[in-house]
A and B are shown apart, each in its own frame.
Chain A
């Protein structure tokens, strides 16, 4: 029974707390880069870690605990569009360019704006590949999909990105350098 897997010993609690302390900042950043809202990102991390708590004893013995948590987190955010509905401004990506530092290079600003225009699932792929530095296989595990899908999603995301970028910059960036 699942309930029996919850931590019920001091060692489990300490281990869980230690893991949360070490990972929650990084997880929130991943969540934010996908959803574009710090509050939603924090909530998604909270939900993901609460789910981890339920399976902590078994999960903590797994080879790659981070992969499991990433998967729960990413699915929570990406699936959120069809799950309980949030009080939010639903159109656009909240971080679009508005808070960029004044000295931000023009090309980076353009890429930021273009990333903000991507659908959440494609943006998630880019976040995992190019921010987290995950391999195609690791990204597939985090997205709960296949390596082939990750490759095609990456290619599509880059294509979309190039379409959204100003023409000059799109030409400079060239093809996907996977």
Chain B
């Protein structure tokens, strides 16, 4: 059997394309990572200092009113006024090559997942109030119980093209059931984990219901095909991993090219509001 497997693997490499990666490219990427690490280390120290100052100010006032997550002052903020200043505690977290590891998805039957069609319909209904001025076109809403990407764990994918005055971007939400841990624990675990790609900062938002959002700064080359912004939402029983893109979602149904956008079609708060609609559709 091992010989057969080895031969199959070797055979799979028969159509190997030329290597695009160069030694210089790797070296430059390494230097960029080193530079980012230094920048974020400095930023982290600044945030710690700012946080210390803010904590002292709150203590001086002798009131907990300003601490939104525990006081519950952000009720519906992500759903009704996404573009306004969030009232919840928002932390700028330098996230760089941590030593932790993301928790694995854990769910045998996917019963915690939303119904994809119902969730997509709920998003379309809420879209005008969440993201006024943007148009939504549903690309796909499906459940996949055998995804290799999710190691065979059930998941739901909901994808929208999002139109703006400028062009069309897209929003991809991949929803994984999570039985283990609280949303806060899972968010903390992901933050401590090593990022797959570049070292990028994240903004954490704690909602009064215990759910948590992590919005990463967009990264990539800045070109429509190679730029992405990730927004993760951790709720009871499931996580939503959302990706925002500067161009429409390429699919077999899309027969014509649509003009891209130069800024993300949605803000992270708007994505979180949409994620909350999906979660609430269960």
Chain A interfacial positions (CB closer than 8 Å to B): 1-3, 6, 13, 16-17, 20-21, 24-25, 28-29, 32-33, 36, 38, 42-43, 45-47, 49-54, 56, 75-76, 79-88, 90-93, 95, 99-101, 104, 107-108, 111-112, 115, 117-121, 126-127, 129-131, 144, 158, 161, 173-178
Q: What separation, in Å, do the CA atoms of A75 and B152 have in the docked complex? A: 17
Contact call B33/A21, Cβ cutoff below 8 A: no
Other than the known A49-B26, A76-B196, A107-B4, what 9 A-B pairs have Cβ atoms closer than 8 Å? Answer: A52-B30, A53-B26, A54-B34, A83-B195, A83-B197, A84-B195, A85-B230, A121-B151, A126-B5
Chain B interfacial positions (CB closer than 8 Å to A): 1-2, 4-17, 19-21, 23, 25-27, 29-34, 37-38, 41, 97, 101-105, 144, 147-152, 157, 172, 174, 176, 190, 193-197, 216, 225, 228, 230, 241-243, 245, 250
Question: Which chain B residues border A16 with CB–CB below 8 Å?
Answer: 27, 30
Q: What separation, in Å, do the CA atoms of A158 and B8 have in the docked complex? A: 14
Q: Quote the shortest CB–CB distance from A77 to chain B (angstroms).
A: 9
Question: Which chain B residues border A158 with CB–CB below 8 Å?
Answer: 1
Q: What separation, in Å, do the CA atoms of A109 and B192 have in the docked complex? A: 41
Question: Which chain B residues border A92 with CB–CB below 8 Å?
Answer: 148
Question: Which chain B residues border A84 with CB–CB below 8 Å?
Answer: 195-197, 216, 228, 230, 243
- A176: nearest chain-B partner, CB-CB: B1
Cβ-defined partner of B19 (8 Å) among A13, A28, A53, A76: A28
Question: Which chain A residues border B12 with CB–CB below 8 Å?
Answer: 32-33, 95, 112, 115
Q: Do A82 and B105 contact each other (CB < 8 Å), given the known contacts A3-B41, A100-B11, A112-B12?
A: yes
State the main secondary structure of chain B at its contact with A. mixed
Query: Which of B19, B148, B228 counts the most chain A CB atoms within 10 A?
Result: B148
Q: Do A47 and B196 contact each other (CB < 8 Å), given the known contacts A53-B30, A79-B102, A85-B174?
A: yes
Q: Can you list 19 A-B pairs with a CB-CB distance of less than 8 A?
A: A3-B37, A24-B26, A25-B19, A28-B21, A29-B13, A46-B29, A79-B101, A80-B196, A81-B105, A82-B104, A83-B102, A85-B241, A91-B148, A108-B8, A111-B7, A112-B11, A120-B148, A131-B5, A173-B4
- A131: nearest chain-B partner, CB-CB: B9
Contact call A87/B148, Cβ cutoff below 8 A: no
